[in-house]
Amino acid sequence: MVQLTINGKKIKAAKGETILKAARDNGIHIPTLCSNDAVEPYGSCRLCVVEITSGAMTSIETSCTYPVAEGMDVSTDSPAVMKARKAVLELLLARCPNVKIIKELAAEYGIEKPGDHLFMENEYCILCGLCVRGCHEIVQAGAISYSGNGKNKKVEAPFGEEAESCIGCGSCAFVCPTGIIKVRDVAKATENMPGGEVEIGTERVIDNWNRNLKMQTCKISGNPIAPEYMLKRFQQTMLLSPQFFNISMGRREPLTVDEDLCVGCGSCLEECPVGAMRLIVNDKNEIRNNIMSNHCCGCQTCTIYCVRSAIKVPAMA
């Protein structure tokens, strides 16, 4: 652990963690746009800047990338910090004058209107790169990337064409701070075939990456679950029951355990994707598996791992 000061408050933080995390853990607010705990920090938006004094040195740094150090003195709202943050917001507002979060932050810092320099009327992407990092680091699809330079820099699919490795998970839209990435599920999608237009059922559409993906439907209800391509990819990489991929969660029933067969080995515990398993001691003082029915998603993955076939699947209606 290291000891440091943030805004005059003495705090302790784990060695190697960022100033942003240390501040948040101690209830100190620092504004951010490009930071998300799920991906590695990159420091692209520069909104999280803080002033650091270490010995005789003072500098302005991005708190989402800068690690804490012993004796460090940090200010999150000094005049130098406010000036730097204001400059960042002026540029962001000039680039994306219609983005709600940018307008709100700008107003908070007293910026009333965007400057003339670099003004872009219809831009909604702040180039924070969260979507790119999420797609590469979390999903490992690598479907999108930056292209161009300067004012022409943008995030897009390779060569601006269809992002063929996009699995349609929508992580990019989920992490985007401006909401410019849209994921649409279209109920009656059509496709042009030699004989004319045919209806192909439900489709997930991500216009930003020119991507259209056919949806897999629930084997019981017939309702769309998720893109077929995405489920196929997960099926190849995870040892989960087929139920997990072809029956929607709401249509699966919780499982039960046959206590006479269960030996309480716990092999199902680690593999349950929703943590619905626990071991209990029953009336006969035996250790047995117990499924928490309010947690169980009915995917039947535990049945793959139960060496005694003690987990019982309810009959499908």
Asked if 64 touches ligand FES (CB under 6 A), the answer is yes
CB of 129 to ligand FES, least distance (A): 9
Q: Which of 46, 95, 204, 211 binds ligand FES (CB under 6 A)?
A: 46
Which residue of 13, 21, 32, 226 would you call a contact of ligand FES, by CB under 6 A?
32
Buried b (16+ CB within 10 A) or exposed e, 298-315: bbbbbbebbeeebbeeee
Q: Does 126 bind ligand FES (CB under 6 A)?
A: no
- Beta-bridged to residue 3, according to DSSP, are 12
What is the DSSP code string of 50-110? Answer: EEEEETTEEEEEETTTPBP-TT-EEESS-HHHHHHHHHHHHHHHHH-TT-HHHHHHHHHTT
Candidates 38-46, 97-105, 240-248, 301-309; binding stretch for ligand FES (CB under 6 A): 38-46
Tell me: does residue 45 bind ligand FES (CB under 6 A). yes
Confirm if 103 and 148 have CB atoms less than 8 A apart.
no
Interface stretch with ligand FES, choices 46-54, 211-219, 244-252, 274-282 (CB under 6 A): 46-54
Q: Is 226 in the site for ligand FES (CB under 6 A)?
A: no
Piece in contact with ligand FES (CB under 6 A), picked from 42-50, 133-141, 176-184, 277-285: 42-50
User: Can you say whether residue 217 is alpha, beta or left, with left for phi > 0 and alpha for psi between -120 and 50 degrees?
Assistant: beta
Cα→Cα distances 239→243, 272, 294, Å: 12, 11, 23
Q: Among the candidate windows 39-47, 131-139, 211-219, 243-251, which touches ligand FES by CB under 6 A? A: 39-47
* 203 DSSP β-pair partners: 186, 214
Q: How far apart are CA 46 and CA 48, in angstroms?
A: 6
Residue 126 or 230: the one with the smaller Cβ distance to ligand FES is 126
- Nearer to ligand FES by Cβ, of 85 and 204: the residue is 85
What distance lies between CA 118 and its chain's CA centroid? 30
- 35 interacts with ligand FES by CB under 6 A: yes
Q: Which residues would be at the binding site for ligand FES (CB under 6 A)?
A: 32-35, 43-48, 62, 64
